[in-house]
Amino acid sequence: MRDTGIPSSRRPASDVASSIMDDRASSVSRASNISRAMSYASTAATTVSISGEISSQLHGGYHHPLARQWQAERQLTKDMLIYPIFVSDIDDEEVLIPSLPNQCRRGINRLIPFLEPLVHKGLKSVMLFGVPMKPGSKDALGTSADDPEGPVIKSIRLLRQRFPQLFICTDVCLCEYTTHGHCGILREDGTLNNQLSVDRISDVAMAYAAAGAHCVAPSDMNDGRIRAIKLKLIDQGISHKTLLMSYSAKFSGCLYGPFRDAAGSAPAFGDRRCYQLPPSGRGIARRAIVRDINEGADIIMVKPAGQFLDVISDAKDLGRDLPIAAYQVSGEFAMIHAGAKAGVFDLKSMAFESSESILRAGATIIVSYFTPEFLDWL
Ligand code: PBG
Ligand code: ZN
pLDDT, tens digit, 9 for 90 and up, residues 60-96: 999 999 999 999 999 999 999 999 999 999 999 999 9
The model's pTM is 0.88
**Residue 345 is part of which domain span?**
73-377
**Is 275 known to sit in a ligand binding site?**
no
Asked if the model's pLDDT at residue 35 lies above 80, the reply is no
Is 28 among the domain residues?
no
Is 13 among the domain residues?
no
Is 55 among the domain residues?
no
Among candidate residues 127, 84, 122, 78, the one with its CA nearest the CA of residue 364? 78
Residue 40's region, left for phi above 0, alpha for psi from -120 to 50, else beta, is beta
Of these residues, 124, 138, 154, 303, which one is catalytic? Answer: 303
Helix, strand, coil percentages in the chain from 3-state DSSP, rounded to 5: 45, 15, 40
Is 21 among the domain residues?
no
- CA–centroid distance, 184 to ligand 1, in Å, is 13
Mean pLDDT over each residue of the chain, to the nearest integer: 90
Is 89 among the domain residues?
yes
Is 240 among the domain residues?
yes
Active-site residue, 121 included: no
> Could you tell me if the CB of 330 is within 6 A of ligand 1?
yes
Pocket test for ligand 1, best of 173, 180, 261, 272 (most atoms within 8 A of CB): 173
**Number of domains into which the chain is organized:** 1
pLDDT score recorded for residue 55? 74
Asked if the model's pLDDT at residue 234 lies above 60, the reply is yes
**Beta carbons of 255 and 330 less than 8 angstroms apart:** yes
Among candidate residues 98, 131, 153, the one with its CA nearest the CA of residue 266? 131
> Could you tell me if the CB of 333 is within 6 A of ligand 1?
no
Among candidate residues 9, 123, 96, the one with its CA nearest the CA of residue 372? 123
What is the CATH classification number for the domain harbouring 212?
Answer: 3.20.20.70
Is 15 among the domain residues?
no
Is 353 among the domain residues?
yes
Q: Hey, which bits of the chain come out as E strands?
A: 81-88, 94-96, 104-107, 125-131, 167-172, 215-218, 243-250, 299-303, 324-328, 365-368
pLDDT score recorded for residue 305? 98
